């Protein structure tokens, strides 16, 4: 069975986050023949006593996704750069469309844009209210406002003059640029519930899911395909190993098992996150070298 393409999350949160670590891991990921580097977005973590981190989010400041990927792209040549995900409705469509297109042009068309409507928890309401307060965006903007946000961004990437007149967003007839490196930028939609997954199949170019339970992940990918989704399916996995030290052997065995599960679930890509348990950049590279050697990747 062919395994999914492999992406590697960059050290953009936790004690090792920073420019040197990002460059080291990005360059190693490219050198070893992996498919992509990726980052996730977290605007803030609530500091209130009633906060429950049910999704295992990083208890850390998180560096900005697009700046980290721009830095990584500037120090690599071929590897894809991916957001997995950016909370798109925290920014206006024009601003985010220009930022994404700028990164896409600077990277030579290597951007895969994973976007969401502001998630973060595995239990209802499936988002962090404090983030919406801090961003100055009402939580009611989710749903129909998210769909319109996508339409407005795509309008920005189309021919000038750009216009958009919707319920939530308006763009007067304008010249908006830069335009993407190619015809457009692929938008992979992060979603949790059946309704939002089916919407991702209608409005996106792909689907992103976090594999906390593989049977549940298989079901969600099936929902996406049954709803007519034909795009790329990306599964984000979490290599945390809370009860034992990470060694090249344990990492490789666990990742190979996850790759087999991801392939059976129908995933096209699987992205590895090593940062939830502090792992130095040098150690991350050692783990990736062991995995690449086991897979026989063409470095």
The secondary structure of 217-238 as a DSSP string is HHHHHHHHHHTT--SEEEEEEE
Instruction: Determine how β-strand 80-87 pairs with β-strand 187-190.
Output: unpaired
What pLDDT, on the 0 to 100 scale, is given for residue 299?
66
pLDDT in tens, 148-183: 999 999 999 999 999 999 999 999 999 999 999 999
Structural Rg of the chain based on CA atoms: 19
pLDDT at residue 242 above 60?
A: no
Q: How confident is the model over 263-286, as a mean pLDDT?
A: 91
Number of domains observed in the structure of the chain: 1
Residue 35 is encoded by which pair of tokens?
């498919």
β partners of residue 270: 6, 235
What pLDDT, on the 0 to 100 scale, is given for residue 1?
54
pLDDT bucket at 241, cuts 50 / 70 / 90: low
- CATH code, domain with 127: 3.20.20.30
pLDDT in tens, 43-92: 998 888 888 887 777 778 899 999 999 999 999 999 999 999 999 999 99
The pTM score is 0.95
Domain containing 58 equals: 5-295
């Amino acid at each position: 069975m062919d395994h999914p393409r492999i992406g590697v999350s960059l050290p953009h949160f936790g004690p090792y986050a920073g420019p040197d670590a990002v460059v080291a891991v990005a360059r190693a990921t490219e050198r070893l023949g992996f498919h992509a580097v990726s980052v996730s977005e977290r605007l803030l973590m609530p500091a209130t006593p009633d906060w429950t981190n049910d999704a295992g989010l990083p208890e850390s400041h998180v560096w900005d996704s697009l700046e980290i990927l721009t830095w990584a792209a500037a120090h690599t040549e071929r590897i894809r750069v991916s957001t997995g995900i950016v909370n798109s409705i925290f920014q206006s469509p024009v601003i985010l469309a220009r930022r994404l297109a700028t990164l896409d042009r600077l990277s030579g068309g290597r951007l895969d844009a994973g976007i969401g409507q502001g998630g973060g928890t595995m239990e209802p309401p499936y988002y962090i209210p404090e983030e919406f307060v801090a961003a100055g965006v009402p939580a009611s903007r989710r749903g129909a406002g998210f769909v319109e946000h996508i339409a407005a961004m795509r309008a920005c990437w189309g021919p000038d003059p750009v216009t958009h007149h919707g319920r939530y967003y308006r763009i007067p007839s304008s010249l908006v640029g830069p335009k993407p490196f190619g015809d457009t930028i692929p938008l992979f939609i992060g979603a949790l519930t059946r309704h939002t997954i089916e919407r991702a199949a209608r409005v996106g170019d792909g689907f992103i899911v976090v594999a906390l339970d593989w049977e549940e992940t298989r079901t969600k990918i099936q929902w996406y395909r049954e709803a007519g989704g034909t795009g790329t399916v990306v599964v984000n996995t979490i290599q945390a190993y809370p009860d034992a030290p990470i060694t090249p052997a344990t990492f490789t065995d666990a990742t190979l098992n996850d790759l087999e599960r991801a392939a059976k679930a129908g995933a096209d890509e699987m992205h590895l996150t090593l940062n939830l348990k502090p792992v130095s950049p040098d150690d991350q590279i050692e783990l990736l070298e062991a995995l690449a050697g086991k897979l026989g990747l063409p470095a």
